Amino acid sequence: MRPMVFIFEGLNVGCGKMRVLAVSLAVVLAVVGVSQAALISSEAGRGQVWAVLVAGSNTWMNYRHQADVCHAYQILHSHGVPDERIIVMMYDDLANNRDNPTPGKIINRPNGPDVYQGVPKDYTGEDVTPENFLKVLQGDAEGLRGVGSGKVLGSGPNDRVFINLVDHGAPGIFGFPTTYLYETDFTDAIVAMHRNKQFKDMVIYMEACESGSMFLKIPNDISVYALSASNSTESSYACYYDDERMTFLGDVFSIKWMEDTDRENVNNETLLKQYQIVKKETTTSHVLQWGQTSIDTKKVSAFVGRIPSQDTSNYGPFDSLDDPCLTTSIHNPDVPLATIQKNIDASDGMIGSDYWKLQKAVLLKNRTFVEDTMRQIVEAVTGDSSSTDTMMSNHHHEINDDDCYRASTTTFHNLCFDLAKNPYALRVLHPVVNLCEHGYTADEFTTAARAVCVHDPVIGIQ
């Protein structure tokens, strides 16, 4: 609201005129007070923006996940959302990593700006867990007393909540550094938040393989709107390989929605327009809407802040043949292999080439070990190779038997491969979905896994 300025001329007036002037001024000030009160009331009724940003991985190989989340923070911050209403969960092992050629900085695109500066370190390291994430969502400050910053969502019935999740995924699973989040727990938490009137509207953007599977059971009438980087049965993609850092800097879906937000006037752009742009530009996987899609008529600014962006880079949009993100994109599960291969190519037979070739051989051997282990379990359950072939090759089933799937994947995690510390193990969970959807039981899977997984615990299989 513009301030009102009063200019008094000719102060040499009689007492009667001065008295009238004083009364008039009092009336004007009263009106101004009412207007200010009305504005404050209007602002209160419109509510505030709250945000939870989560990068669920660690290690230099997964650089892109934390870089995406740091960029998301910069968007919210630059659009006027204060830090006290932004909660960030990330392992925080990149900025000062020995492999970082620019200590203290993280970038999200080649030659891009530092996106790490100023990012709140609310929950880092071992505090980045699904349990803590769910407590943050549900405003459980007591449950997080002494953990990280202790910040939780303090949103109410007039507020908007924006959630951005970035990591590895699998059917019905979103990864965290030391464990993982099940779709059922995520959905239950969101439904509880709606019941407890913790938001007016909620928007969720998720970057992960099979991320669509995390929204299959989101009700379409609780004011929750979501975008997934992929459908429920496909992988998402990484992009922007950086030769200096020898890692990928971003993920295609994340890059597309954030670079769109950077260049657009968010006060004019609707969620629907952003979805249409991101869906068109993300040619590597199927970006999908979920939940109450009628929310897409609202402006992007309602969820990222209203201050116009100061980004003048005009980074895109690009023709698909010239798009620097798309032309460097790669299937997320292939990132470790592609990174090693780039190191082999860069070595060109010189010192270090043999090391990287050995790393490639070890990687492929470990992946084969994971695949063979799952195949042995499946064959022990089905009893024949033909059915096993079907279970291993079918990627189209969605999860309906949640109890069977959860119990079976927990068994695989506990007895065979830690799903948080062996990202490639997430890639072989679709046969578990198939077994459960074909009527096999979790008990049968557990019996088979106990017989097959007699090896010592294994970690680090990318």
| Count of C-beta atoms within a 10 Å radius of residue 136 | 26
Angstrom distance (rounded) from CA 242 to CA 346? 13
In SS3 terms, 333-376 reads as HHHHHHHHHHHHHHHCCCCCHHHHHHHHHHHHHHHHHHHHHHHH
Are 140 and 152 a contacting pair, CB within 8 Å?
A: yes
- Given 65, 71, 77, 168, which residue is catalytic? 168
- Taking 90 as the threshold, does the pLDDT of residue 3 lie above it? no
pTM score > 0.85 for this model? yes
Are 245 and 343 a contacting pair, CB within 8 Å?
A: no
Per-chain mean pLDDT for the chain: 89
Q: What pLDDT, in 10s, does the model give residues 301-332?
A: 999 999 877 765 667 778 777 899 999 999 99
> 348-452: which CATH topology?
Topoisomerase I; Chain A, domain 4 (1.10.132)
Model pLDDT, residue 318 = 80
Are 281 and 53 a contacting pair, CB within 8 Å?
A: no
| Count of C-beta atoms within a 10 Å radius of residue 39 | 11
Angstrom distance (rounded) from CA 440 to CA 21? 88
Q: Who has greater pLDDT, 462 or 52?
A: 52
- Taking 60 as the threshold, does the pLDDT of residue 395 lie above it? yes
Q: What is the residue extent of each domain of the chain?
A: 1-46, 49-331, 348-452
Reading the block at residue 253, the tokens are 């879906």
150 φ, ψ (degrees, to nearest 5): 80, 0
Instruction: Give the pLDDT mean for 215-233.
Output: 97
Model pLDDT, residue 313 = 64
**pLDDT class for 4, splitting at 50, 70, 90?**
very low
- Given 70, 71, 209, 436, which residue is catalytic? 209
Helix (H, G, I), strand (E, B) or coil at 88: strand
196 φ, ψ (degrees, to nearest 5): -90, 10
Model pLDDT, residue 41 = 33
- Find the helix packing angle between 252-263 and 63-78, rounded to 10°: 20
Share of the chain above pLDDT 90, in %: 81
Angstrom distance (rounded) from CA 343 to CA 358? 12
Angstrom distance (rounded) from CA 237 to CA 225? 22
Angstrom distance (rounded) from CA 155 to CA 193? 10
Model pLDDT, residue 331 = 94
Model pLDDT, residue 268 = 95
Angstrom distance (rounded) from CA 262 to CA 246? 26
Instruction: Give the pLDDT mean for 96-111.
Output: 97
Q: 119 to each of 80, 106, 439, how far by Cα in Å?
A: 14, 11, 47
CA torsion 329-332-333-336 (nearest 10°) is 70
Model pLDDT, residue 11 = 33
Model pLDDT, residue 20 = 35
Which of 7-16, 53-62, 150-159, 392-401 is the least confident region? Answer: 7-16
| Count of C-beta atoms within a 10 Å radius of residue 41 | 10
Instruction: Give the pLDDT mean for 211-217.
Output: 97
- The single-letter DSSP state of residue 261 is H
Task: Give me the sheet containing 247-251, strands edge to edge.
Answer: 247-251, 237-242, 330-331
Are 366 and 424 a contacting pair, CB within 8 Å?
A: yes
Reading the block at residue 347, the tokens are 């070595």
Q: What pLDDT, in 10s, does the model give residues 144-200?
A: 999 999 999 999 999 999 999 999 999 999 999 999 999 999 999 999 999 999 999
- Taking 50 as the threshold, does the pLDDT of residue 15 lie above it? no
Model pLDDT, residue 458 = 76
Contacts of residue 306, Cβ cutoff 8 Å, sequence gap at least 6 = 79, 80, 266, 267
Q: What pLDDT, in 10s, does the model give residues 241-283?
A: 999 999 999 999 999 999 999 999 999 999 999 999 999 999 9
Model pLDDT, residue 44 = 42
- Measured at the alpha carbon of residue 299, what is the angle toward residues 212 and 185, in degrees to the nearest 5? 30
Task: Give residue for tokens 């609201």.
Answer: 1
**pLDDT class for 397, splitting at 50, 70, 90?**
confident
Q: What pLDDT, in 10s, does the model give residues 30-66?
A: 433 433 333 333 334 579 999 999 999 999 999 999 9
Q: What is the CATH number of domain 49-331?
A: 3.40.50.1460
Reading the block at residue 251, the tokens are 């993920």
Angstrom distance (rounded) from CA 98 to CA 92? 13
Q: Judge whether 168 counts as a catalytic residue.
A: yes
